[in-house]
Amino acid sequence: MAEMQAVIFDVDGLLLDSEAVYRQSWTEAAASQRFVLSHERYATFIGQRIAWCEEQLAALAGPDFDLIAFRAAWRVGWRAIARHGVAPKPGARELVAALRAHGVPCGLATSSARPEAELSLAAWISDFDAVATGDQVVNGKPAPDIYLLAASRLGIAPERCLALEDSANGARSALAAGMRLIIVPDLVQPPAEVAARAFRVLPSLGAAHGEVLRQLGIDQK
């Protein structure tokens, strides 16, 4: 099995504990228009491009739902929380720091738009060699576009990139791009058919740390 040459990370729910922040802001913005966004319904949006999710929610809510007002409201709510900092997932900073110490190219492939990614990651975004965001591709996850863009910006062939994802749609995107995949689930466990195609499904980034280094051929002694 060929060694990997780069690592491409999802952001929300993988590097950052941010899916709960998005869920809270979306739920509150929907409630302001008397629409109940259940956790189960929100889970179907995880890993998808934001504009698509907004449109799906509006379709579910019906003709009286003000999509423009919803878009504004959830962003206000999200920024009110995110400006105080979005906590990294356990083991995230340690893993990225280890990869940087060994000179491994690292990229981001996030469904969030660039402004949201910059706000939630803050100064940490500078630790990544390439950033691909949902507003920079025509087709969002589960299409491969965003992972292919990140690999292109790294200058590494997709098949030599190790992708780390938490969501099913993100996992499908990385697999469609031809990447080796490690899934670290967040709010939702991956479907069996997705898990079966992943190289590994691991419970945390801490648990994934050693495996990621092994896939890159890094001596851990």
Q: Is residue 17 among the annotated active site residues?
A: no
Residues 96 and 52 reside in one and the same domain: no
Catalytic residue among 10, 145, 166, 186: 10
pLDDT given for residue 15 in this prediction: 96
Cβ neighbourhood burial of 16 (10 Å; 0-12, 13-18, 19+): buried
pTM across the whole model: 0.84
Residues 112 and 203 reside in one and the same domain: yes
- Best CA proximity match to 4, nearest among 110, 167, 161: 161
- Expressed as residue numbers, the domain containing 73 is 19-82
pLDDT given for residue 221 in this prediction: 66
pLDDT given for residue 80 in this prediction: 87
Cβ neighbourhood burial of 220 (10 Å; 0-12, 13-18, 19+): exposed
Interaxial angle between packed helices 145-154 and 168-176, expressed in degrees from 0 to 180 and rounded to the nearest 10 = 60
Residues 175 and 190 reside in one and the same domain: yes
Whether a cis peptide bond, with omega within 30° of 0, leads into 144 is: no
Domain final position from 31, 59, 82: 82
pLDDT by residue for the chain (221 residues), tens only, comes to 678 999 999 999 999 988 788 889 999 999 999 999 998 898 888 877 788 899 999 999 999 999 999 999 998 998 888 777 688 999 999 999 999 999 999 999 999 889 889 988 988 999 999 999 999 999 999 999 999 999 999 999 999 999 999 999 999 999 999 999 999 998 788 999 999 999 999 999 999 999 999 999 998 76
Residues 185 and 157 reside in one and the same domain: yes
Catalytic residue among 12, 145, 166, 186: 12
pLDDT given for residue 2 in this prediction: 72
How many domains is the chain partitioned into structurally?
2
Q: Is residue 10 among the annotated active site residues?
A: yes
